[in-house]
Amino acid sequence: MSDAASRPLKDLRGVGPAIAEALSRLSLQTLSDLWFHLPLRYEDRTRITPIRDLRHGESAQVEAVVDAVERGFRFRPMLRVTVSDDSRSTLTLRFFHFSKAQAEGFVPGLRLRIYGEAREAAGGFEIVHPRYQRVQLDTPLDSALTPVYPATEGIGQSTLIRLAKLALAALPDDAELDVLPEALRRMAHLPSLGEALRVVHAPPNSTDVAALLARSHPAQQRLAFDELLAHQIGMRKLRRHLRAMPAPIIKYDRKRRRAFLDALPFALTKAQGRVLGDIDRDLAAGKPMLRLVQGDVGSGKTVVAALAALAASDAHVQTAVMAPTELLAEQHLRNFLNWCEPLGLRVVWLAGKVTGKARAKALADIAAGADIVIGTHALMQEGVVFANLGLAIIDEQHRFGVHQRLALRNKGRDGTRTPHQLVMTATPIPRTLAMAAYADLDVSVIDELPPGRTPVQTVAVSDARRDEIVERIRVACAEGRQAYWVCPLIEESEQLEAKAAQATYEDLQGALPDVRIGLLHGRMKPRDKQSVMDAFKAGELRLLVATTVIEVGVDVPNASLMVIDNAERLGLAQLHQLRGRVGRGAAASSCVLVWQPPLSALARERLAVMRETNDGFRIAEKDLELRGPGEVVGTRQTGEMNFRVADLVRDAEVMPKVAQAADWLLEHDPRAADALVSRWIGQAVEYAQA
Ligand code: ADP
Ligand code: MG
């Protein structure tokens, strides 16, 4: 990069030690840092809004004359300045922190330009702590938008604006600054980097103001492109780094695989077979597998994972299977025991609640080379030492973060070999988003459900019709079917959720005396949970009242009715997961979404989507549209993907071009690729250098 880029900020005019210190608190050390310290938003001071036209919650500039000044000290100091304008409306300016000089500066008759967010208060509009300046009748308006930067104590907006201008003046020409090849830039219809930076920091008069405010200006798109590209390159580099390490060569034993498949009560679907083929190839290649298996709820990912674990044991390496909840991990345990123990594999259980002697025994078995270890986060704890971990399987990957995945992988690094990684998710995410979120992974999709499944019929009914729902359960249970009743709560409190489930359980027991009902929530002892699950699986319990603990993975094919209470509170992904607990057998299944009025427009739309489709892919796309990517990909994960200008929903369509650009740069200009990563991500992100 150019010399200008690495010049320290204290070289700039007016940057003394105090300002330099404040700048470094914003991680701003060099000119380049300042170029990429982008405005959060803009203030439009190019026009005046009459007070009469102010709107609650919107920022505006007003020009008005001071009518009255009032200082009060009720609970704390307070300054109220009343102003009015030609629209003959009044506006109150309110200050809680102010200096004496500032208060005395307001005198009736003084003409001010005021900028801030208007709120509607009892006595009309007010603005709290507005920015203001004295003006004359003929003071010209700003001709351009005013940027607002992320600031910190000791450094104000005006200083940042001034410094940004100085830094921009030292911007080298594009040949030096811009890492995107010209052809690519033109193909994506993007301005040069220098041009983009000049526009966002100091929008010229001719700028499309509306576009800039809406963050859709080409200059912003250019910067978003670079930011996405930097993340893409960071993830690719992580991938390359991993793939450069040797991994155990795993070739499955044909006889044992045949024995496994012959013992299954079903044949693999074509899609399962294809995905297993992808995994077989990866495992045999001598490089660490990095594969994401995506498959809708109920598509049969578990058995594919078990076949991979069997292959690992054929090659005498261990497999770790990690699930996000204990309930799901236990279910895996039972499946793996069922499928793998008859073939002579040793399966070990390790969850957080395994303590004392049992834990010591589990740890000893793991260290002695047990074939398959199944558990929760507990698998990643210190003290868990594998003899030779060769395959790490992570179920419901969206519940974990990238770093947790890396932590489990690190368990198996013995300096020479890196374990293979297989991650599975039932949260189908649109392809463009997957490109951004999982750039370090190869993706296989199980795009087919096992045969004989009938789509779940979904209805949404108001809570006022609870009696009808209870009757429906009674009929279903009398017909030999089984049902779930899920009680979610909005609070993230297991305790409150458990209470709600308990209350519903008692209600339903009163209403359905002939139905054997079970209760399941996260506060129960693992053994009790297990016995309830077992009884439900065995059909002894006909109705299971549960909290959202059953959200992921639980599999009881005979259950064909799902009631979800307070469905209006849940997001689409969660509703889809919960609904996926039914429709697993041959019986026609249904799902009743019970909602409490009032129903927000958003909730109404979500329920409509659930009624319309069972397609996890469509639902994910809708979810992305309604909620934004953070929650679709999983909060932890996007927590590590904090974008400054990019927005995965808005910018999704450029992802294919971003991926192309990443390929090109990594191949032709690796130094520029590195520069881009440090420009946008710096050293802060683990995955950029892991
Ligand atoms: P998910 O992909 O949601 O994790 P599971 O692995 O839990 O799905 O599988 C759902 C159910 O489908 C399980 O009962 C499983 O045994 C069953 N299953 C898996 N594959 C097949 C298949 N090819 N044919 C019939 N049933 C299958
Ligand atoms: Mg599953």
Q: What would the pLDDT profile of 626-666 be if each residue is shown by its tens digit?
A: 765 544 444 334 334 567 788 776 777 788 889 888 988 99
Q: Which residues contact 360 (CB under 8 A, 6 or more apart)?
A: none
Q: Which of ligand 1's atoms lies nearest the C-alpha of 264?
A: 16
Question: Residue 82: beta bridge partners?
Answer: 68, 92
C-alpha neighbours within 13 Å on the C-beta side of residue 382: 0
How many H helices and E strands in the chain?
27, 21
Give the Å distance between the CA of 538 and the centre of ligand 1.
18
Higher pLDDT, 96 or 647: 96
What pLDDT is recorded for position 491?
52
Handedness of CA 488, 489, 495, 499 (dihedral sign): negative
> How far is the C-alpha of 519 from the C-alpha of 546, rounded, in Å?
6
Atom of ligand 1 nearest to the CA of 295: 2
Per-residue pLDDT tens over the stretch 669-687: 898 888 888 888 765 444 4
The continuous run of DSSP H or E covering 79 comes out as strand 77-84
Strand order in the sheet with 372-375: 347-350, 372-375, 318-322, 389-394, 420-425, 290-295, 442-446
Is it the case that residue 688 has pLDDT exceeding 70?
no
Q: Kindly calculate the radius of gyration of the chain based on its CA atoms and give it in whole angstroms.
A: 30
- The overall average pLDDT reported for the chain is 86
Cα–Cα distance for residue pair 613/611, rounded to 1 Å: 6
pLDDT at 405 over 70: no
Alpha carbon dihedral 654, 657, 662, 663, in 10-degree steps, equals 150
> Which of 14-28, 91-105, 261-275, 586-600 is most confident?
261-275
Confidence grade of residue 118 (pLDDT, cut at 50, 70, 90): very high
Round to the nearest angstrom and report the end-to-end CA distance of the chain: 23
| Cβ of residue 427 lying under 6 Å from some atom of ligand 1 | no
- Lowest mean pLDDT segment, chosen from 59-63, 208-212, 286-290, 442-446: 208-212
Tell me what pLDDT residue 242 has: 84
Distance CA 325, CA 522 (A): 10
pLDDT in tens, 196-205: 999 999 998 7
Give the pLDDT confidence of 552-566 residue by residue, as tens digits. 667 788 899 999 998
Query: Which residues touch 443 (CB under 8 Å, ≥6 apart)?
Result: 291, 292, 293, 294, 434
d(CA 456, CA 153): 56
Cβ–ligand 1 distance for 401 under 6 Å, the answer: no
pLDDT above 50: residue 72: yes
Query: Averaged over 279-290, what is the pLDDT?
Result: 95
pLDDT value at position 644? Answer: 78
Q: Which regions of 178-249 does DSSP assign to beta strands (E)?
A: none
Q: How far apart are CA 273 and CA 455, in angstroms?
A: 23
Name the pLDDT band for 406 (thresholds 50, 70, 90): low
Task: Give me ligand 2 centre to Cα 332, in Å.
Answer: 8
CA distance 585 to 266: 13
* Ligand 1 contact via 616 beta carbon (within 6 Å): no
DSSP 642: -
Amino acid at 260: F
Residue 66 has phi, psi (to 5 degrees) of: -70, 130
Give the pLDDT confidence of 313-348 residue by residue, as tens digits.
999 999 999 998 887 888 899 899 999 999 999 999
Distance, CA 358 to ligand 2 centroid (Å)? 26
pLDDT over 90 at 296, yes or no: no
The closest-lying atom of ligand 1 relative to the alpha carbon of residue 272 is: 23
Question: Is this prediction's pTM over 0.85?
Answer: no
In whole angstroms, give the CA distance from residue 29 to residue 8.
6
Report whether pLDDT(249) > 90: yes
pLDDT of residue 690: 40
Residue 389 near ligand 1, beta carbon < 6 Å: no
State yes or no: pLDDT of 668 exceeds 80: yes
| Tokens (6 digits) for 436 | 């951004």
Atom index in ligand 1 nearest the CA of residue 446 equals 2
Distance from residue 171's CA to the centre of ligand 1 (Å): 58
Give percent above pLDDT 90 in the chain: 44
